[in-house]
Amino acid sequence: MFCPKCGKKNDEGAKFCEECGALITSDRVIGNVNRVPSILSLRHPKESFYFLIAAIAGGIVWLALIWLVILFIWVAIPVAIGLWIAEQFFKSWYLGNSVKLSKEQYPEIFEIVEKHSRIFNLNKHPDVFIVNSEGKTNALAAKFLKTKYILLYSSLIDRMLSHNSLAELSSIIGHELGHHIAGHTAIWKNLLLKPAMFVPFLGPAYFRACELTADRIGAFLAGDKDAASLALMTLACGSSFLAPKINAEAFKNQEKQLSSFFAFLNDLWATHPRITKRVLSLEEFRL
């Protein structure tokens, strides 16, 4: 296996180059490139269900407020200008205060983004920034007009790479890219659903289902469900040292120990499913 940076030949399965220390990627950890999947096969059934309810509710509200829809047509240009201005502030902040991935900047990680994007035939991959998170572990996807963005928090990357787990990082990047691929950041789609988000519990339920879909896409792109599950458990653990030693079965068994009633109450307003539930959901998913 050759290093993409210095060209030195390394042992098969090596994660880092012996010569320059660069990350060494392989198709095994950056995605299954042998087939282009249907997004329908990856979308979680709960997302389709809640989307249908939210779309119907949102459509009814917009039809009832047809005069606002007509008014919106007149203000579409000012709104678009407003979104463009917001994007310029967004880009200015992150270009000036974070690190943008490119072929020249962390090319090994950038290659993951490129290959994941090619699997789904995206015309343009999202702009990806590594952000100083001051200890917080997170990643997120955002979109303004046509440009897509992914923000990777530095602490999250450190936790993944501290135990040389490029496959875990691949699944995290795939998860955020999955939000774009599945249309979760689409402006018009979110505008249609907006009225339904005020229906008690419907909005959070839809968002939780979207996270399960993104988990599936991340696992598919990484080509490794176990790595995707371990990435989630690493988020739950929060320790770079302890995460690689986590007992997956013991962690999954925690789901059986919680109170179903109070877990349900916790979920009502949560935008993300609890991590034990996400890991079990991935276990049921067939790549």
Please give the average per-residue pLDDT across 209-230, as a whole number: 95
Domain spans of the chain?
44-284
When mean pLDDT is compared across 16-30, 117-131, 267-281, the lowest value belongs to 16-30
**Residue at token pair 């249908």:** 52
125: which 2 tokens? 């991959």
Whether 17 has a pLDDT exceeding 80, the answer reads no
Whether 21 has a pLDDT exceeding 90, the answer reads no
Q: pLDDT-derived band of residue 7, with 50, 70 and 90 as boundaries?
A: very low
Whether 43 has a pLDDT exceeding 90, the answer reads yes
Round to whole Å and give the CA distance between 48 and 132.
Answer: 35
Please give the average per-residue pLDDT across 26-33, as a whole number: 49
86: which 2 tokens? 């917001």
Q: pLDDT-derived band of residue 28, with 50, 70 and 90 as boundaries?
A: very low
Round to whole Å and give the CA distance between 240 and 230.
Answer: 12
Element (H, E) at 244: none
130: which 2 tokens? 């590594």
Q: Which residue has the higher pLDDT, 250 or 78?
A: 250
Q: Which residue has the higher pLDDT, 196 or 134?
A: 196
When mean pLDDT is compared across 46-50, 77-81, 118-122, 143-147, the lowest value belongs to 77-81
Specify the pLDDT at position 181. Answer: 96
Please give the average per-residue pLDDT across 7-16, as a whole number: 58
Specify the pLDDT at position 4. Answer: 47
Question: Do 117 and 146 touch, CB atoms closer than 8 A?
Answer: no
Q: pLDDT-derived band of residue 155, with 50, 70 and 90 as boundaries?
A: very high
Specify the pLDDT at position 142. Answer: 94
Beta bridge partners of 149: 127, 142
